[in-house]
């Protein structure tokens, strides 16, 4: 599979039911202006994932190939279990009154810090340092695939997703990536 396809699929699946997807639903219901929200998600994700992928490359430069391989295996295995834990938006999380774009950008960027998809982007960046731009573009597309329908369709889209099935499929994907990383030397 290509780096782009893996990046898109990994983040799109990991994002289903994630707190940033719930944040997208909250922003859509609060502002009812999908274009500024979608643009904010795009730019916040590009910035956040560029930093995450770059961090993956920096960390990879300091590790021997064998240590990096085991870090990737463990990271993918941990992600396989992590995605099985449903996220929920904290009740006390509020959105700023700064308008739909600024509020969405800030909220989305902060919510993505330390998130599953950011960790996945860091791992993908470490694994594909020669294709860093492709990783960032792919993970951003994956984020948009998961969040744009939620913004556009609101609660109807969120309620239509079979979250348990998607979580299990995502867990299997990360487990396969862990095994493939272990298997391929």
Cα dihedral 124, 130, 132, 138 sign: negative
What is the residue range of 75's domain? 3-183
Rounded average pLDDT over 105-129: 86
How far from the centroid of its chain's Cα atoms is residue 21's Cα? 10
Sign of CA dihedral 12, 14, 16, 18: negative
Per the model's pLDDT, the better-predicted residue between 1 and 117 turns out to be 117
Q: How many domains does the chain have?
A: 1
How is 111-141 classified by DSSP, letter by letter? HHTT-HHHHHHHHHHHHTGGGHHHHHHHHHH
Residue 138 has pLDDT above 50, yes or no: yes
pLDDT tens, residue by residue, 82-113: 767 665 544 434 544 568 899 889 888 888 88
pTM for this entry:
0.71
In the prediction, which pLDDT does 83 show? 62
């Amino acid at each position: 599979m290509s780096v782009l396809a893996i990046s898109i699929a990994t983040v799109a699946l990991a994002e289903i039911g994630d707190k940033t997807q719930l944040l997208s639903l909250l922003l859509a219901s609060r502002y009812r202006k999908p274009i500024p929200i979608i643009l904010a998600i795009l730019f916040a994700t590009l910035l956040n994932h560029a930093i995450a992928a770059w961090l993956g490359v920096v960390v990879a430069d300091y590790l021997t190939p064998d240590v990096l391989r085991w870090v990737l295996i463990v990271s993918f295995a941990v992600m396989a279990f992590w995605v099985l834990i449903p996220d929920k938006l904290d009740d006390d999380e509020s959105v700023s009154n700064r308008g739909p774009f600024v509020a969405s950008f800030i909220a989305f960027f902060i919510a993505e810090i330390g998130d599953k998809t950011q960790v996945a982007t860091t791992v993908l960046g470490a694994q594909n340092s020669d294709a860093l731009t492709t990783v960032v573009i792919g993970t951003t597309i994956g984020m948009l695939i998961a969040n744009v329908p939620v913004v556009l369709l609101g609660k109807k889209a969120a309620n239509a997703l079979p979250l348990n099935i998607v979580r299990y499929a995502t867990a299997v994907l990360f487990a396969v990536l862990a095994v493939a990383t272990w298997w391929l030397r």
